[in-house]
């Protein structure tokens, strides 16, 4: 394939890019879907989930943190890469307590939607059944760490958009967990508001707004109607009007 200046090739399709864009930025702008969970347009990328791994030559790179460079020929939608992504998704399911039929986020959950998109039919790996702290101290927001996938979207949203730095990730490996930056470590003593981006950006059911459960019936929710590919191509940061 002949690549023109200021374009990259993704699965044989010529994609334009501007200086400073990552492969993910350029792909999403061109309505080309690269699977991801920890990326969100407008937030600084972190490369946490590794679902967006693509191949350039004999190298595998994370599309969300790799700059687009003229002449790159990138493989994205291949059986091998999608099998790897499915395995990562399966690991995310067993590392937390993701029991979809009893979760209020079902139908709006990106992890669940990713499983459908990749054709995941079982967990494959042994379930961890980790016991993680639930914080229900906040009047309007619930934090269930048992469902957290450590994408750190809430961390970046609170820091970069809300300007509050409410959340952080502490620990390493299987000890990694989400913490609240408040005097007591509780949500009730933080500056988090229900209108903050950090309170609504969670891709799973780890952060939920209280007293809104099942306002939209199961079967009529976002991913009941649209694939994660379709919804991801429409995403962008909407800043809170409540400063």
pLDDT value, residue 1:
57
| Phi and psi, residue 144, nearest 5° | -110, 100
Does domain 7-75 match CATH 3.40.50.1820?
no
pLDDT in tens, 163-216: 999 999 999 887 899 999 999 999 999 999 999 999 999 999 999 999 998 999
Q: pLDDT, tens digit, for every residue of 49-65?
A: 999 999 999 999 999 99
Q: Do domains 7-75 and 82-211 have the same CATH topology?
A: no
* pTM of structure: 0.92
The H or E element that residue 40 is part of is none
Q: Rounded to 5 degrees, what are φ and ψ at 53?
A: -60, 130
> What would the CATH number be for the domain defined by 82-211?
3.30.70.20
Q: What span, in angstroms and rounded, lies between the C-alpha atoms of 164 and 199?
A: 12
Q: What is the pLDDT of residue 43?
A: 95
What is the residue extent of each domain of the chain?
7-75, 82-211
d(CA 107, CA 90): 18
Task: Give the three-class secondary structure for 24.
Answer: helix
Contact 169, 233 (CB under 8 A): no
Share of the chain above pLDDT 90, in %: 85
């Amino acid at each position: 394939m002949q690549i023109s200046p200021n374009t990259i090739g993704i699965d044989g399709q010529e994609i334009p890019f501007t200086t400073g864009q990552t492969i993910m930025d350029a792909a999403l702008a061109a309505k080309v879907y690269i699977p991801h969970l920890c990326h969100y347009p407008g937030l600084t990328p972190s490369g946490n989930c590794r679902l967006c791994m693509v191949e350039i030559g004999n190298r595998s790179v994370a599309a969300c943190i790799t700059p687009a460079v003229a002449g790159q020929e990138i493989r994205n939608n291949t059986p091998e890469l999608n099998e790897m992504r499915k395995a990562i998704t399966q690991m995310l399911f067993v590392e937390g307590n993701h029991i979809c039929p009893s979760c209020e986020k079902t139908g709006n959950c990106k992890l669940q939607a990713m499983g459908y998109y990749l054709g995941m039919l079982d967990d494959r790996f042994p379930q961890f059944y980790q016991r993680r702290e639930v914080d229900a101290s906040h009047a309007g927001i619930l934090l269930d760490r048992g469902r957290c996938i450590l994408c750190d979207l809430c961390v970046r949203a609170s820091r970069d958009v809300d300007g509050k730095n409410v959340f952080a990730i502490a620990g390493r490996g299987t000890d990694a967990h989400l913490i609240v930056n408040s005097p007591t470590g509780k949500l009730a003593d933080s500056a988090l508001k229900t209108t903050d981006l950090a309170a609504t950006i969670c891709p799973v059911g780890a952060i939920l707004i209280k007293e809104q459960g099942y306002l939209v019936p199961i079967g009529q929710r976002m991913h009941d109607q649209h694939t994660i590919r379709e919804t991801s191509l429409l995403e962008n940061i909407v800043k809170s009007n409540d400063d």
